[in-house]
Structure 1
Amino acid sequence: MPLPPEDRHLSPRTGWTRAHWEAVADELLTAVRPYASPGQALIDLPGTGPSWSGRRSDGLEGYARTFLPAALRIAGAGGDDP
């Protein structure tokens, strides 16, 4: 995953800026795309099998877990998000 250069002046501890976090969020969100259901309401991630709650619940959880990176990506991008 290509990342922008670090900026130790803006972020002395990590060197990471918003652009770094946007790149990570974009990569995470792109990575789950192949596992989306046809209607894109579920994300069925590969694994050992369904939990005790069942495949539908697992798919909803997979979908819900994309909300945090998506919200962080969209909120501060001023409409300039993929």
Structure 2
Amino acid sequence: MTPPHLALPPADRVRSPLTGWTRAHWEALADRQLQALVPYATPKFAQYRLPGRGSWSGVVSDGLEGFARSFLLAAFRIAGAAGDADPRSWSATRWA
């Protein structure tokens, strides 16, 4: 099991003087957020049914909303790799 904390690369104050965060930091954060959704996925990853109070639209609508929002993050994460290998295999396993 992954520890509850997020292991980040070292800060780079040359490339990012204000925060020290680089692309690698944002990729690590996106990967962690997407990994956190997996336990809440329906069997074929068509929905993410997150815990908590549901909306008035119902559980199916909420599940589709969870998928749509996470898919947007996954799309940016995969496209941002600029053709490099998908390190987490998001495009092949989670979103097919």
Same fold (TM over 0.5): yes
Deviation at 1:12, TM superposition (A): 1.0
| Matched residue, 2:3 | none
**Structure 1 segments of 4 or more deviating over 3 A?**
none
Deviation at 1:57, TM superposition (A): 0.2
Q: Which of 43, 64, 69 is the aligned partner of 1:65?
A: 69
Deviation at 1:14, TM superposition (A): 1.0
1:36-67 superposed Cα distances (whole Å, 9 cap, x missing partner): 0012101000002x211111000000101102
What's the TM-score once normalised by structure 2's chain length? 0.79
Gaps of 5+ in 2: 1-5, 89-96
Q: Which of 34, 37, 48 is the aligned partner of 1:29?
A: 34
RMSD: 1.1
| Matched residue, 1:51 | 55
Deviation at 1:72, TM superposition (A): 2.2
CA distance in 2, matches of 1:53, 1:60: 11
Higher relative CO (Cα under 8 Å, sequence separation at least 6) belongs to 1
| Matched residue, 1:80 | 86
Deviation at 1:68, TM superposition (A): 2.8
CA distance in 2, matches of 1:75, 1:19: 14
Identity of aligned residues (%): 63
Size of the aligned set, in residue pairs, is: 81
